[in-house]
Structure 1
Amino acid sequence: MTNKQKRPAFRDLYFGKSDSKNELSGDRDDFVRSFIDLNRITDQVIAGEKTLVLGPKGTGKSALAWFLDASQHGQNYLCTVRDASDLPLADIPRLQTGQPAGTERTVAAWKFILLCNYLALLLTDQSCEIPNRVEVDRVTKLLRKYGFMGDTSGRAILDISNTTIEIPIPKIGTIYRRESSSTLNIYSLLPYLEDWAANARSANRHMLMLDGLDSIFLNDAKYDESLASLVQAAYTINQKLASVGATGSVVLLLRNDVFNRVSLVLPDSQKMRDDYAVELDWRVLSGAVGAQAPLIRLVNGKAARALSVAAIDVLSYFPASIELGGSQGSEPRFIERLQYFLNLTRHTPRDLLRLFEEIRKVEESGVFPSATPTLRRDVIREGVLQYATKYFTGAIRNEFAGYEQGPQEAQLALAALQNLKRQNFDRNLFAAGLAELGESRPEVVDRLLRLLFYAGAVGNTVSVRGGSYLQFYHRRDDSAVYLKGSFVLHNALCHAWTIPFTY
């Protein structure tokens, strides 16, 4: 933006919506125009170089998928995004493929589901040439009839999960000549589906993207077998497709903490991560360099592109330091603006964008007089309060979605935190708070503390020689919770619950 251009008002900036799918349906052009591609990941995904997109919740995995879906028209690729939350993940190990129960059967079930959906994508490409097309069309017609191709595949799996399904063989083509039986089970059909996918030829690339895996809570063990088998199935399919120069790939969008958990039972997990994974890591470095970190460039780029201006520095709309305290005769203290905002988030694009959006809405409301060149302190404070109460507490609750022990325990954990009325606490204080709510089992206390730590609601105070430091999971995803240490409630929850700050 040149000096001659008038800087847009903060109320006119664009920070998107909380859910990229909602943002896309609301205004496709704004969504596409304001999408920020971290390190040109889209090119790597389209080319099939990266087939595992990893990152914490809120880092833009779904935004990447829906951007590719929205941008495919007129491009040299075709993309289909499937929502895994519509699939009965816990029931997939029971899908009768014609094999004995176990890991191999679950992998085969996932390969069948993925290949059915990948073939459905290929068939939408008018220029795609598939060998034995007549045979392919007849078999896929039967698969559609059973409900295995398209959005209804989840219901189909539930309907037949306890029955070994048999696919009638068309009396024409390779299958008819090779097989002695008039029907095939899922396991016997897999080599033919894989062969058709591998040998299809087109000028276009094809991507089947599986999203929605964030809805599976990171400590819910009942999904482990299914998720591990899904990762293995996709890896095997992609190896096959790459080895013959096929036109596409299967892309999984997965939380890195979930991948770390299931990788313990995957023999090739390190190879998968080294060769095919890309991580969406927006964490900000400390000090002045933070203002040029990818997360801040994303916020600036999104705001600028939506208004079709060359550049916007969102932080410049705020005072260099944010004043804290100063009420009831206490001395105010000041904190550098970027550090202040980051301390209210989990260092993810979604959190920071929602924070700026709530401040923007307060400024737009006109309740407070406008101020230039920076926003008023009361506008910032009210926006932070709105963010903490309307967004952040709900986002923490959503981290417990699908929690195996039930939502009532998750509610207990948050209620106990809120009732403590203090930012610093230890396990004993938390246990006492739970006991007041009727829960005193030690294993539940430990489990809920772990869940709160991995959700980003609390951090550890780690003592080291000469002092201590704060450890939040979202700042270092290899961190392990220390249950016997001191805990710190996240700043945004202190704002939401009117809890005094102690750091």
Structure 2
Amino acid sequence: MDANVFKQINFGAIAAETEKEYYPKLLLNGYIDNQGYINKIVKGPHFLVYGQKGSGKSAIGARLLLKSKEMGHSSKLYTLERLNYNSFGKISTSKEAPEVSNTRNWEIVLHIAILNFISSDEKVMKSNKKIKELIDGLIQIGAIPSKDIFEIVSKVEKKQIGANIKLASGETSTETSFQYSYENMYNNLREAVNSIELPNDHFIIIDGLDSVITHRDNQRKVLSGLLHAANLINDELHSYRIPLKIIVLCRTDVLDKLNDPNKQKIVSDRGIELNWYQHGIPLAENDLIQMINLRAKIDLEQEIDVFKEFFPAKIENKDVRKFLLDYTRHIPRDMIDLMTKIRDCCTGPISKNTIIAGINRYSADYFYGEIRDELVGILDDKVVDDLFSILQSMKTYRFTFKDMKATMDEMGIKMDLEQALSQLYDIGGIGTVTKKESNDEYSFKFRDRYSKYCSTDEIVIHLALQNALKARGKLERVGKALP
């Protein structure tokens, strides 16, 4: 097939929000769900969807929104992108422990989010007087209608509620009676939501946790409260046979930093992990390979195997599909951008040089920035800058912690190097190498979620980051860096 056909293929966008607005057909029909994630969310107890950044969490939320009419359910998306933690802490003046007050505050916010969701349903409003009264009061203080969680929180903090607390307690508010009013508000909201009668399934999707996580302990406690509150509300709604569920989309490295005594139980019983790494299966059956071929089929409107049709069978004695996958962290976002960059470098028949040119562009223009972006907030900006300066100064792709520490000292940089490398490991920027008798054993977080960085193991930079940092010699040889 003519290479010009390959140049025309739209593999999609790296952000689900963009695909939803501009390429909805790809999001609806070009998403591989061989594990039945959507079905588990819709029909089962699962509400927590977690995975690496770029693993498709937002895509699941966007698909639920796009497929609402087809599947006969209603969905609404809320984001935490503008969440103000200072305002969140002012919802209650309680002196309870943060893990208790944060959960209770989230219950209030999520109950209001539910009422905001159903406030446009005239049948529900007419059939339940209690709900209508609460919604009317929430409208008066501006908490409804709300586009996101930030708007709800900003109106429901103490001072805003004080202007019209009668919506919850039937009384006016004063400074001295606020705590009593707060408890009544919580009870009334909960009672009202648990009396809702809905004709079909409703889903509230909470996204944007990636945008707010930092190294600050307070934020982690607030997000832990969200996870706990969503679980409590979902259990209660289920017990009342109300077909409504709160879905939380969370990055794995963010989830791992949250502290809640019930977290592991929630993860095990109610969680869905988006793990695209598949070891030991035929490459033709790999979900990421299938996703690329499916998207090409949708765009070209014909069955096609992109890799067999356009690419050389092997590069550096490695199947070209394996060669390309090794430049990703085995997530859709990486694979889509890599294929797009190769397409953009195509000027004729696709050769090894064409693919290498695409890898160069992908490594420098996408992968390097993605890794840095994922560290922002978790590490201080200066630490991130210093970390990459040290990596670039190493001039090799594999080294020991001791070697890197010596380079850091020579450069006069002071930082907690082990902590920084642990964070870099968690997002797939580096892996570790354990020397065995027969061969070396490579470990990456995206291969094994429960693996951890160990400073006694050798460090190996991810292939794409090696390329961006120019940490190896000729790119033609980088395929040999990993088994």
> What is the TM-score with the length of structure 1 in the denominator?
0.85
Tell me how far 1:232 sits from its aligned partner.
0.5
Q: For each residue in 1:393-427, what CA deviation from the matched residue of structure 2 results, as whole angstroms up to 9, or x when unmatched?
A: 01001111222x52111111112111211111111
Report if aligned partners of 1:93, 1:225 keep a CA contact under 8 Å in 2. no
Distance between the aligned counterparts of 2:44 and 2:216, measured in 1?
30
Post-superposition offset of 1:168: 3.2
- Is 1:350 aligned to 2:346, yes or no? no
CA RMSD of superposed structures (Å): 2.9
Gaps of 5+ in 1: 324-333
Instruction: Give, in whole Å, the separation in 1 of the partners of 2:408 and 2:159.
Output: 45
1:168 aligns with one of 165, 173, 176: 165
Q: Indicate if the aligned counterparts of 1:94 and 1:161 stay in contact, CA closer than 8 A.
A: yes
Which residue does the alignment assign to 2:263? Answer: 269
| Cα gap change, 1:486 to 1:90, in 2 (>3 Å) | farther
2:389 corresponds to which of 407, 415, 440:
415
Question: Where in structure 2 are the equivalents of 1:9-158 lying within 5 Å?
Answer: 9-47=5-43, 49-73=45-69, 75-89=71-85, 92-96=88-92, 98=94, 100=96, 102-128=98-124, 132-133=128-129, 135-149=130-144, 150-151=146-147, 153-154=149-150, 157=153
CA distance, structure 2, for counterparts of residue 152 and residue 81 of structure 1: 8
- 1:199, distance to aligned residue in structure 2 (A): 2.3
Deviations 1:2-41 (A, max 9, x none): xxx9999222222111111022222334433323334232
Distance 1:6 1:439 in 2: 53
Question: Following TM superposition, by how much is the alpha carbon of 1:175 offset from its aligned partner in structure 2, in angstroms?
Answer: 5.9
Paired residues of 1:96 and 1:165 also in contact (CA < 8 A): no
Aligned to 1:336: 319
Residues 61 and 90 of structure 1: CA distance in aligned 2, closer, same or farther (over 3 Å): farther
Cα distance between partner residues in 1 of 2:242 and 2:464:
48
Q: 1:294 aligns with which of 287, 312, 316?
A: 287
Instruction: Evaluate the alpha carbon distance shift between residue 91 and residue 439 of structure 1 in structure 2; reply closer, same or farther with a 3 A threshold.
Output: farther
3-state DSSP of counterpart to 1:278: strand
Q: Secondary structure at the match of 1:470?
A: strand
Match of 1:451 in 2: 423
2:452 to 468, 475, 480: 480
Q: Distance in 2 between matches of 1:497 and 1:6?
A: 34
Contact kept in structure 1, 2:315 and 2:323, CA below 8 Å: yes
Within 1, Cα distance between the matches of 2:253 and 2:157? Answer: 29
Paired AA for residue 26 in structure 1: Y
Q: Which amino acid aligns with 1:434?
A: M
| Correspondence for 1:312 | 304
Match of residue 189, structure 1, among 185, 202, 205 = 185
2: CA distance between counterparts of 1:217 and 1:491?
27
- 1:176 Cα deviation (Å)? 4.8
Alpha-carbon deviations, 1:273-329, whole Å to 9, x = none? 23321111111213x6233022222222222223333x3323213222114xxxxxx
Structure 2 counterpart of 1:435: 409
List per-residue Cα deviations over 1:366-398 (Å, max 9, x = no partner). 3xxx22xxx211211111111001100010011
SS in 2 for 1:428: helix
The answer as to whether partners of 2:215 and 2:377 remain within 8 angstroms in 1 is no
Q: Partners in 2 of 1:130 and 1:211 — Cα distance? A: 31
The separation in 2 between residues aligned to 1:146 and 1:99, in whole angstroms, is 25
The aligned residue for residue 326 of structure 1 is none
Q: 3-state DSSP class of the match of 1:482? A: coil
Equivalent pair of 1:115/1:193 in contact (CA under 8 Å):
yes
C-alpha change, 1:464 and 1:164, in structure 2 (3 Å) is farther
Equivalent position of 1:331 in the other structure: none
After superposition, what is the alpha-carbon deviation per residue over 1:227-251, rounded to whole angstroms, capped at 9, x for unaligned? 1111100000000001111021100
In structure 2, the gaps of 5 or more residues are 473-477
The reply to whether residue 377 of structure 1 matches residue 352 of structure 2 is: yes
Quick one: which amino acid aligns to residue 453 of structure 1?
Y
> Could you tell me which of 280, 287, 303 is aligned with 2:274?
280
Which among 327, 338, 361 is matched to residue 386 of structure 1? 361
CA distances 1:261-282 after superposition (whole Å, capped 9, x unpaired)? 32xx433333322332111111
* Aligned-partner SS, 1:279: strand
Equivalent residue of 1:296, what SS? helix
Identity between Structure 1 and Structure 2 (%): 23
Q: Distance in 2 between matches of 1:313 and 1:91?
A: 52
Contact 2:210-2:251 at 8 Å conserved across structures: yes
Q: Deviations over 1:41-79 (max 9, x none)?
A: 222323353211111111100011112112323541111
Q: Distance in 1 between matches of 2:470 and 2:360?
A: 10
Q: Deviation per CA, 1:105-146: give whole Å up to 9, x if none.
A: 11111111111111111223344367533x423322332443
- SS at 1:382's partner residue? helix
Q: 1:217 to 1:168 in 2, by over 3 A?
A: closer
Q: Quote the Cα distance in structure 1 between the aligned partners of 2:96 and 2:429.
A: 43
> What does the per-residue CA deviation read over 1:418-437, in whole Å, with 9 as the maximum and x for residues that have no partner?
12111111112222333344
Amino acid at match of 2:360: L
Give the aligned partner of residue 406 of structure 1. Answer: 380
Give the Cα–Cα distance (whole angstroms) in 1 for the partners of residues 139 and 97 of structure 2.
25
Number of matched pairs: 468
CA apart distance, 1:162: 6.5
